[in-house]
Amino acid sequence: MITPPLTSPTEVMINMIAACFLIPFVFAFVFKAPKYVAFGFLAVLFIFADSTWGQLNTDSGNIYSRGVGLFYFSLLNIVLVIAGVGVLIRRLANPQGPQLAPPMNKYFLAFFFVMLGHVVIGLMVGIELDVILNLAGMINVINMFAFMYLLILAFENDKDTTTLLFMIIFVAVGRGIFGAVRYFLFEGDTSNPYRNFEGLDIKIFFFDISDNFVAALAAFCAAWLLTTPGIKLNIYTRIFLIGVVVLEVAAVALSFRRSSLIGIGLMFAFLFFRLPGKRKIFFACAAALALSIVATTFFEQRLQFNTTQGGGILSSLIYDISPSRSGGIKNSRFYELYAAAQSMDGHWLFGRGTWGTFTGDRERLAFHEGNWGFVHSGFGHLILKGGIVGVMIFIGMLASYVAFYLRYRKHLYGKAALLSDAGFAGFLFWIPTFLIGTPIIEFRTMLLFGLTMAMPFIAVGLQNYQVRTYIMRTQQYATA
């Protein structure tokens, strides 16, 4: 979202100097070694939280907003755009290099064309460019594509992908230990709307949904290594990976986010269906034990506040969407989407524009704090901003991604199979958030979603690299 221009001359000078030196530096690195730019982005995304919702005292910004006001986009966003342009130029200069996810290209071009149309129409009706390209619009979908392409270009051999997998697990462990110390020894995450806004006496591990995703992804990778046939691990590695699963699942459970809890449930259900028959029994027993502990903790710590008259866990989970609630839709979580739909008259095809807003009952929607430019549904937000056309392009992209995974997964093995499965499991994690959350307006969330979109394509590229290397070595031995 756009913030007022910076007023401090020192901050202006620092950001100008950073832009002048950092952007050409990144552009050169994208040509020579794109993996370093990609790893730099991933380190930032894995380590630094973005959400400040739920804090009583918000600071002036974070790493994701640094530079906003001077450039109208953060320095990190500008670097991503420059890296995306560099990726495109590098690909055009080397047609024999890695493919930039061909099934996705037509959806990127279609969405870019829609965004361009919004820019033209917006300028014609007097909307300022910075408002048209506001992060509360649809620009983060373009950011997602740019990051996805950067990752696909960057990771193309065994060493790079091994580093990526190690990074996912070890950075998540470090972040998880930090969260555990903060949770058990202090007051937990300071971004705690349940305590600060709703008055509930609970601590939380991580409120930012992206932190939950990083934990869930590491837990899935560790569980995959522990349960997949043919993976040989020594006793110390197994103990470490079991610890990773326990730590990261606890991080998600103690964050008390329904969407993330359902998301990690989908990830492990997917892993269960991929296992052979005998291993399913052991996995089901372990999962049932973990689920019972998580559900009990979740109910005792949070959901008890959402149920009345002795309702159970299920009634607590759907306390704000249950059809039995008096008052109908106007007293449910869906009222926001209902109000947004009421504002779409005449705009269903192309939306109300990236700058568009909706209207509704201010008392029931007090949590919007006067900002009517977003709704709590990624798909609903795309309809509000880009209409049926915008959301269908996005859904088409998701369908193409699923088709790609299903087509190539059966040919993958080893690290390539882990990468592909982890990417698809991450996609499953994000489904509840796209249904009831606000991912489209969140820079960090959309880039991490871009990571999940990129991983199956990286896996196929890795497999192709391994095949090419094997053929080259075979030919060398034959001619020796």
pLDDT tens-digit readout, 296-306: 666 666 555 55
Query: How crowded is residue 328: how many other Cβ atoms within 10 Å of its Cβ?
Result: 11
pLDDT at 16 (0 to 100):
63
Q: Flag whether pLDDT at 22 surpasses 70.
A: no
Percent of the chain residues past pLDDT 90, beyond the cut: 46
Mean of the pLDDT values across residues 380-402?
96
pLDDT at 6 (0 to 100):
46
The radius of gyration of the chain's CA atoms, rounded to the nearest angstrom, is: 23
| Residue 292 or residue 157, greater confidence | 157
Find the helix packing angle between 209-227 and 277-301, rounded to 10°: 150
Q: Which residues of 227-245 are buried (b: 16+ CB within 10 A; e: fewer)?
A: bbeeeeeeeeeeeebeebb
Mean of the pLDDT values across residues 114-126?
94
Q: Of the candidates 224, 214, 257, which has an alpha carbon nearest to the alpha carbon of residue 451?
A: 214
pLDDT at 292 (0 to 100):
72
Confidence bin at 284 (pLDDT 50/70/90): confident
Rounded Cα gap, residues 399 and 395, in angstroms: 6
Query: How crowded is residue 160: how many other Cβ atoms within 10 Å of its Cβ?
Result: 18
pLDDT at 157 (0 to 100):
83
Percent of the chain residues past pLDDT 70, beyond the cut: 82
- Mean of pLDDT over the chain: 84
Reported for 268-273, long-range contacts at CB under 8 A and 24+ positions apart, including other chains, are: 268/220, 268/223, 270/421, 270/424, 270/425, 270/428, 271/220, 271/223, 271/224, 271/227, 271/421, 271/425
Q: Flag whether pLDDT at 442 surpasses 80.
A: yes
pLDDT at 357 (0 to 100):
92
Confidence bin at 480 (pLDDT 50/70/90): low
- Contact status, residue 218 vs residue 248, Cβ threshold 8 Å: yes
Confidence bin at 101 (pLDDT 50/70/90): confident
> What are the tens digits of pLDDT across the range 338-369?
899 999 988 999 999 999 999 888 888 887 87
Mean of the pLDDT values across residues 188-200?
84
pLDDT at 5 (0 to 100):
44
Helix, strand or coil, per DSSP, at residue 109: helix
Q: Flag whether pLDDT at 412 surpasses 80.
A: yes
pTM for the full predicted model: 0.90
pLDDT at 2 (0 to 100):
40
Q: Flag whether pLDDT at 139 surpasses 70.
A: yes
Rounded Cα gap, residues 421 and 426, in angstroms: 8
Lowest mean pLDDT among 135-139, 242-246, 284-288, 432-436: 284-288
pLDDT at 279 (0 to 100):
73
